Structure formats: C-alpha cells, structure tokens
Structure 1
C-alpha cells in the first residue's frame, strides 16, 4: 500500500458519522448521573405508550376524539401505576426493610457459623467434616508454612467447644464475603429512599412524555432541518430502532422475571423459608441479569435454608429453584431476543462485569442487548448498516414475542 492509498483511505473515512456518534457519546457521558432517571422514564413511557396504542380502538372509547382517547388512557395508566407503587410502599417495603435488617444482623453474628457447622456435620457426617475442619484450619491460618496443631483440635471433644472453635475459623475465612454481603444488603435498603425519589421523578417525566407524545415527536423531528441536522440524521434512526428493540426485549424480560419471582416466592412459602419478601425482591432484580442472576439470587435463599433448617431444606430449595428455572428456560426464554444468538456463558459473564463497572446497576440491563447488537453488526449481518441490524433484531423480537398469540389465532 502506497502513501497515496493511505491518504485516500483516510480521506474516505466517514468522519461526519464518527464525529456525530462521538458528540452523542460525550453528551451521554456528561449526563451519566441522570442515567437512572432517564432509564426509568424510558421504561415507564415505553410501556405506557404501548398500552395507549393497543387500547385506542377499544369499543367504549370510540365515541371520543383520538386526543381525548389518548389522554383518558394515559390517566388510567398512571392512576394504576401510582396506586400500585403506593400499595407496594405501604404494604411491602416495611416488611422488606425489617427482613433486610434481620438478614444483615444474622450475617454479622459470630454464632451464625457455629449453626452452619452444626447443620453441615448432621448433613455430611463426621468423616467428611473431619477433613473439612482441617481445611478450615489451613485456610484460616495467616501463615500456612507454619505447623498447624491438628492434635490440639483432636483433643477437643465433639460438642459446643469444638464447634465454637471451628466457627471462629470459618468466620475468619469468610469474613470478607459476609461483610460484602451485609454491605450490599445495607446499601440496597438505604437506596430505598433514593430509589423512591427517582421513581417519582421518572413517573412525572414519563407522564408528560406520554401525555403529549405526538407533539413531542413533531418537535424532535423538526431537528431534521435545524443546525444539528447532520448529527440528528446520522444518530436518530439508529437510536430509535435500538430503543424500540431494547424496550421490546425488556418487556419480555420483565414478564419472565415476574413469573420467575412469583413461582420462587410460592416455592419459598411452601418450604416455609423466612424472609420471603426480601428474597423475592432480590430474585426479581436478579431476574434481569442473564446467567449470573440465577446464581446470585440462589445464594441467599440457600443460605437462609441451611442456617434455619439444615441440608435437607437446602436440597429442597435447590430442587425448587432448578424446577423454576427449567420452566423459565424451556417455557419463557424463547421470548428473549438474545436467545436468537446463543451467547457463551463466559462472554455473558465478562460483559456483565465490564458493564457493571462502567455503568453500575443499569449496565447489567444494557450489557447483553449491546453485546448481541455488536456481534450482529460485526459477524451476523456484516452487509447491513447499524439501523439495518437493529431492524433485523427487532423483527426477531416481535416474531418471538408474538408467536404464542399467532399460534392461538391459527
């Protein structure tokens, strides 16, 4: 390749498109502190507008003008949303906060690991526990090169003294993880007030958006002939299609998370697991995290089952959660558009870690859709533009989510 070829290649690069996307990325980076409110507004507005459009032709409303119909439906939608959040705040949040405080205190108590060891000895037997006890002494030692006095452990007869001794060793090994878990739960509880404020702001903004969406659309489309027309014409089509794609996928994922939470809550109620409210909230939140969410939400449920009842209840919890996720995987997951491109679990976990570090909790929601979109653009549809790739994936989402409905009609 000659110097002239390099110069021609450089000149022919789509600098205008690159600058347009760079400008949007800079603005988004500056507004990252408002990302939670933006996402909340988008989600509520997307669902609300879908409800309004689907109910426009409802027979009792046909006597009204289109504008009046829209505003009646918007009022009905937001009345239901506000009532639901109020009911949730009055009836559920106090129990969740109480259960969360109890869970944190249970994690931080020294007697917790004594109870765990007692349950493990009953479930695993003396032979396995003797080997595990020696491993705990090695893991809890500050210097494993020093001789560990196993004879001193053997001289301690079985009973409370031996269990207390080993409980302290287990606490030393897992102190970092239990403190981290307690910190996460505490942060989740303290986030309740901030979350309530963000929800309130998102509801107000989304109400204004859905109330006058046609007028807002006309105002945004006027940017086509404004001074920022080059940026708008480059970015807007792709963002519009991707926003629709993400909204459809999020709707499907929300339905799956809700069904998953209800089934898991019923299972915990049947097994008499305490703290169903807090654990169910945790399951619902983790339901939006692919692959890792299953593991994360199972750990506290299994922990409570083990400490309260023992290995038998823990085994029943694992069987219950396996059954729930079997239903999810084979009955509900076809509605998730990312299932069309089988992502390797290692890739999913990697992008989740990177997204959480970069964007926080909301990054966990965006990680898989952005990864699927990027892989489609690079590998699956290399001949399509960015907008074309988003359109193809949107067709997949609509086809999969409408499939049961189409079969019923057939």
Structure 2
C-alpha cells in the first residue's frame, strides 16, 4: 500500500483529479476557458504555417503575422455581425417555422401524414416551439456570447505574442519547491496538446470542409436559408458521427418541401459522399496519429459528455476521451503499433 501511494501513477491520478475539481469550481468560466484554449491553439497553428509561407517571399516576424491574422479575424467577425446577424436571425426563425409547419400540418404531404402518429407521440411541435424560444433567448443573449469571444481573442493574442516569455517564465518552476508538480503538469500539458488539441483542430477543419461543400451542393439544389443552414452544418459537423445524423433531419424535411422524395434521395447521396470523403480522406490525413474509435464508443462518449458538460460535451467529448486514452497508453493505430515494435526490436 505504501508503494502504491508513492507511485507516479497515483500521484498523476491525484493531480488529474485536482485539475478536474478546479475546473468544476470554475465552471461559470468554462465557456471563456474553452474558447481561449481553442482559439489560441488554432491561431497558433495558423500563425506558424502562415509565417513559413510568408517568409518565402517577405521578411516578416511571427508577431507581425500574428497581429495581422488577428486583425483580419476581428474585422471579419465585426463585418459578419454587422451585415449578416439580422439575416441569420431571420433565417433561423424561418427554418424553425418550416420544420414546424411540416410536422404540425400532416395533411399537406404524404410523408408528414405517415409520420403524424409519431409526431403526436413525441409532441414534436412542443419541442420545436421550445427550440424557437431557446433560439430567441440565445439571440437576446448574443451580446454576452460576443463579449466572451472577444475576451478570448484578446487573451489568446497576448498569449501568442508573449509565447516565448511565458514558456521561459514557466520553466523557472522546474527548479523551485514545486518541481514535482511542475514535472507532472508539464507531462499532462504535452499529452493534452498532442491529443486534445490535434483532434479539435481536425474536427474544425473537417467541419469547415464539409460545411463549404454542403452549402455549395445545397445552393445548386435551390435550398433556401443557406446562411442559417451553413451555420447549423458547421456546428453539427463538430460533433463526430452523430452530427451527420442530426443534420439529416432538417435537410430531408427541407428537401421534401422543395423537391419531393427525389430531393431526399439527392440529399442522402450528398451526405454519403461527404461522409465517405471524411472517412477515407480527411480523417486519415488529419487524424492519422489518433486512436480510431468504434462508432459504439463514439456514441457512448457523446451521450455521457453531453449529459455532464452540456452542449460543449458534444464538441469536446471525443477530444477529452482521446486525452484520457493517451494518458492510459491505449493506442490502436498502425503507426503506434509500428513504433512499439521498433522500440521492442531496439531493446
């Protein structure tokens, strides 16, 4: 028992539990913490890659590239809010109305008549009304959301501008009385960035690519409310596997309302093609170093993470699970197996 309590594994478990408790106590700030980390990580990756490209043509420091990218990002956000926020609000409301009219007026179409008993049992109209109320409530609180985003942008900008100084100052704790704690936190931070950060980055890239291609396809099919649909597809695209299924519900309803059963077939084909491209091209390209989860595990993780973390759980549930697997040393990718075999051969 004495050896167990002194072991590195037990110490790391205590530190990890302490971090979890600290985050729980700061749960009122969790939106700001997660936004700051995600923006900082993504902007750091973008800055590093952009700097390498720019330096081939112009001598430009990394800090100058960072400031330029942040100015462009802020200008884009302000322009979108000023020009498209009223349009997005209107389109989201119209989108809810379209789905509600489909379910609440079953006599207007054959599919709705067939599904009417199911709609009555689950009281879909009631949930849609709640959804509209929730959407309008979120829109009224849009100022708070925008404030969190801009605070996260400012914090992440300062972090990236003083990245070297932050690293140098933090390294001083290595020789302090907190050296043991520093070593463990440094260990966790490296794994966290390697697993959680990489998966989040891949999810954002995949969601952006799928959203862009989907909107282009929907545009040629004559779909209305493309801005609202694009936002919906991007957000749902951040949810692995389940996001595709959830996006099919409004897409198939709108497809039937504008083109009949044949448009539903077109939507299913488009989703299948995009999902195949994600599974066979984007995932191997962007997430080759990650453990490949079975769909069963993916759904279980999403269900539990949504229950405990809410909406954020849908987005960060899988990256958090990958972080825990990385700590436990659970790997299943061929690259990791090859590395283990090479280490064993060297020994």
When normalised by structure 2's length, the TM-score is 0.83
Q: Using the alignment, how far apart are the partners of 1:35 and 1:60 within structure 2?
A: 41
Q: 1:18 to 1:254 in 2, by over 3 A?
A: closer
Aligned residue among 221, 228, 237 for 1:287: 237
Flag the structure with more relative contact order, 1 or 2, with Cα contacts below 8 A and sequence separation at least 6.
Answer: 1
2:39–2:156: 8 Å Cα contact kept in structure 1?
yes
Mapped pair 1:216 → 2:216: no
Superposition deviation, residue 52 in structure 1: 3.6
Matched, 1:37 2:32: yes
Report the counterpart of residue 120 of structure 1 in structure 2. Answer: 110
Does residue 1:82 correspond to 2:74, yes or no? Answer: yes
Alignment of 1:318-397 (within 5 A): 318-337=268-287, 340-375=290-325, 377-378=327-328, 380=330
Describe the superposition over 1:318-341 as per-residue Cα deviations: whole angstroms up to 9, x where unpaired. 222222222222221213427853
Structure 2 matches for 1:4-403, cutoff 5 A?
Answer: 7-8=1-2, 10-14=4-8, 15-54=10-49, 55=51, 58-59=55-56, 62=59, 69-108=61-100, 113-114=104-105, 116-120=106-110, 132=114, 136=117, 170=120, 173-183=123-133, 185-190=135-140, 192-337=142-287, 340-375=290-325, 377-378=327-328, 380=330
- How many Å separate the matches in 2 of 1:294 and 1:302? 12
Distance in 2 separating the partners of 1:195 and 1:310: 38
Superposed CA deviations along residues 6-60 of structure 1, whole A, max 9, x for unmatched, are x456555555434333322221211122222122222222233334434168145
- Structure 1 residues without counterparts, runs of 5 or longer: 1-6, 124-128, 140-168, 383-388, 396-410
CA–CA distance in 1 between the matches of 2:40 and 2:141?
A: 23
The CA deviation at 1:239 is 1.6
TM-score (norm 1): 0.71
Which structure 1 residue ranges, 4+ long, deviate > 6 Å from structure 2? none
Give RMSD over aligned pairs. Answer: 3.3
Contact 1:260–1:284 (8 Å) recurs in 2? yes
